[in-house]
Amino acid sequence: MNGMSLVSRRAILKGLTGTVLGARSAVAQTRRFSRPKPLAKDAVTHDWTAYLGPTHNAVSTETRLSRKPQPPLVWEFTKGTGYASPAIAGERLVFLHRLRDEEIVECLNSETGSTNWQFRYPTDFEDRYGYNDGPRSSPVIDAARAYTVGAQGQLHCLDLETGRMIWKRDLDKEYRVPQDFFGRSSTPLIEGPHLIVNVGAPGGPCVVGFDKITGREVWRAGTQWGASYASPVPAVVHGQRRVFVFAGGESQPPTGGLMSINPTNGRVDFSFAFRSRVYESVNASCPVVFDNKVFVSASYRAGGALIEIRPDFTHRLVWTTQEFGLHFNTPIHKNGYLYGFDGRNESDASLACVDVSSGKVVWRNAPEWAELIQVGGQPQRQLVGTYRGSLLAVDGQFLCLGELGHLLWMDLTPKGYQEVSRTRLFVARESWTLPVLSRGLLYVVQNTRDFMSGARPRLLCYDLRA
Integer Rg of the chain from CA: 21
pTM of the full structure: 0.94
Residue at 290 is within a domain: no
The confidence score (pLDDT) of residue 22 equals 61
Give residue 39's domain range.
1-166
Of the CA atoms within 13 Å of residue 60, those in its CB half-sphere come to 30
Tell me how crowded residue 126 is: count the other CB atoms within 10 A of its CB.
Answer: 11
* pLDDT cut 90: percent of the chain above it: 89
What is the per-residue pLDDT across 419-436, written as a single tens digit (0 to 9) for each? 999 999 999 999 999 999
Query: What was the pLDDT predicted at 40?
Result: 95
What is the reported pLDDT for 340? 98
CA dihedral over 257, 263, 267, 269, signed as positive or negative: negative
pLDDT at 14: 31
Look at residue 130 and tell me if it is in a domain: yes
Rounded CA separation 463/79 (Å): 20
Would 39 be classed as within a structural domain?
Answer: yes
Q: Is there a domain that residue 134 lies in?
A: yes
HEC string of the chain?
A: CCCCCCCCCEECCCCCCCEEECCCCCCCCEEECCCCCCCCCCCCCCCECCCCCCCCCCEECCCCECCCCCCCEEEEEECCECCCCCEEECCEEEEEEEECCEEEEEEEECCCCCEEEEEEEECCCCCCCCCCCCCCCCCEEECCEEEEECCCCEEEEEECCCCCEEEEEEHHHHCCCCCCCCCCCCCCEEECCEEEECCCCCCCCCEEEEECCCCCEEEEECCCCCCCCCCCEEEEECCEEEEEEEECCCCCCCCCEEEEECCCCCCEEEEEECCCCCCCCCCCCCCEEECCEEEEEECCCCEEEEEEECCCCCEEEEEEECCCCECCCCCEEECCEEEEEEECCCCCCEEEEEECCCCCEEEEECCEEEEEEEECCEEEEEEEECCCCEEEEECCEEEEECCCCEEEEEEEECCEEEEEEEEECCCCCCCCCCCEEECCEEEEEECCCCCCCCCCCEEEEEECEC
Question: Backbone dihedral region of 120: left (phi > 0), alpha (psi from -120 to 50 degrees) or beta?
Answer: beta
- Residues 181-235: tens digit of each pLDDT: 999 999 999 999 999 999 999 999 999 999 999 999 999 999 999 999 999 999 9
CATH number of the domain within which 95 lies? 2.40.10.480
Q: In this structure, is residue 25 part of a structural domain?
A: yes
Is 135 a domain residue? yes
Under a CB-based contact definition with an 8 Å cutoff, are residues 184 and 152 in contact? yes
Cβ-contact 101, 123 below 8 angstroms: yes
pLDDT tens, residue by residue, 311-370 = 999 999 999 999 999 999 999 999 999 999 999 999 899 999 999 999 999 999 999 999
Q: Give a yes or no: residue 425 inside a domain.
A: no
**Residues of the chain falling short of pLDDT 50:** 1-16, 23-26
Of 387, 422, 391, give the one whose Cα is nearest residue 407. Answer: 422
Task: Work out whether strand 337-342 and strand 332-334 pair parallel, antiparallel, or are unpaired.
Answer: antiparallel
Other beta carbons within 10 angstroms of residue 438's beta carbon come to 24
Does 397 reside within a domain?
no
Q: How many domains does the chain have?
A: 1
- The pLDDT of residue 17: 58
Q: Which residues of 283-305 are buried (b: 16+ CB within 10 A; e: fewer)?
A: bbbbbbbbeebbbbbbbbebbbb
* Burial zone of 159 (CB within 10 Å; 0-12 exposed, 13-18 middle, 19+ buried): middle
